Structure 1
Amino acid sequence: MITTKQRAYLRSLANKIDSIFQIGKGGIEAPFIKQVEDALEKRELVKITVLENSGMDPRDAHDHLVGALGCEGVQVIGSKIVLYKESKNNKKIELPGK
């Protein structure tokens, strides 16, 4: 689990990045989860946009991805989701208080 201070730090980093994935009418399936997992290993912090035609609420999509990936949900704001998972091989983000 990350602390409130660490979550705030990750939110500030997420402000500067663009969404690299979109959840559309295909929803969340195994290949999509694998792509997000690979991106988390490479970047540690990813932003995802939930499109209106997905039929999913952004909070539901967030909860599903956090459960499937074992990552930390940093933020759900509007149609955007921010996820964080510490990389095993490509550590880039140093969290405060760690």
Structure 2
Amino acid sequence: MLQLSSVERRELRARAHNLNPVVSIAENGLTEAVLKEIEVNLNAHELIKIRVYGDSRENRVAYLEQICSKLGAADVQHIGKLLVIYRPAPLENTAPATSPSPKTRPRRPASAPSKTTKRSFQG
């Protein structure tokens, strides 16, 4: 499980304030499908909110611990029925990406007529 300092946790709580929950845990609990959806959203967003339906605080705490331990995430906040978790995005490739060179347009031969014609206006 990822550990956060109090400063990091405070900054992440501030970032999460305007987020909407992206995953819900309902009566079936924390299933493999729910864990997979949390994994997908963590990869996409790093910081997510999860809504837990149900009145048992013990279940919410257990879900938070399971999610963080199985997915290598950090718990940022547990407030009411909302869980906020964070996991940094995986590094794709540490080597610098090479961009393709810009394509140059072939030059028109000097003898070819121009597509635009010059018009002179007499006034």
TM range (shorter): 0.7 to 0.9
Say if 2:17 is the partner of 1:9: no
Map 1:8-87 onto structure 2 (within 5 A): 8-52=10-54, 57-87=59-89
Moved over 4 A (4+): 53-56
Higher relative contact order (CA 8 A, sep 6+): 1
Amino acid at match of 1:52: G
- Write the distance in 1 (CA, Å) between the matches of 2:33 and 2:78: 22
- Write the distance in 1 (CA, Å) between the matches of 2:41 and 2:16: 14
Moved more, 71-80 or 58-67: 58-67
- Write the distance in 2 (CA, Å) between the matches of 1:80 and 1:87: 22
The count of residues paired between Structure 1 and Structure 2 equals 90
Q: What value does the CA root-mean-square deviation take over the aligned residues?
A: 2.0
Q: Which ranges of structure 1 fall in alignment gaps of 5 or more residues?
A: 91-98
- Write the distance in 2 (CA, Å) between the matches of 1:77 and 1:41: 23
Counting aligned pairs with the same residue, the percent is 26
Q: Deviations over 1:15-48 (max 9, x none)?
A: 1100111100111111111110110011000100
- Write the distance in 2 (CA, Å) between the matches of 1:4 and 1:29: 31
Instruction: Name the structure where helix makes up a greater proportion of residues.
Output: 1
Q: Which ranges of structure 2 fall in alignment gaps of 5 or more residues?
A: 93-123
Amino acid at match of 1:77: I
- Write the distance in 2 (CA, Å) between the matches of 1:42 and 1:16: 17
Q: TM-score, normalised by structure 1?
A: 0.83
Provide the secondary structure at the position in 2 that maps to 1:52.
coil
Q: TM-score, normalised by structure 2?
A: 0.67
Moved more, 64-73 or 50-59: 50-59
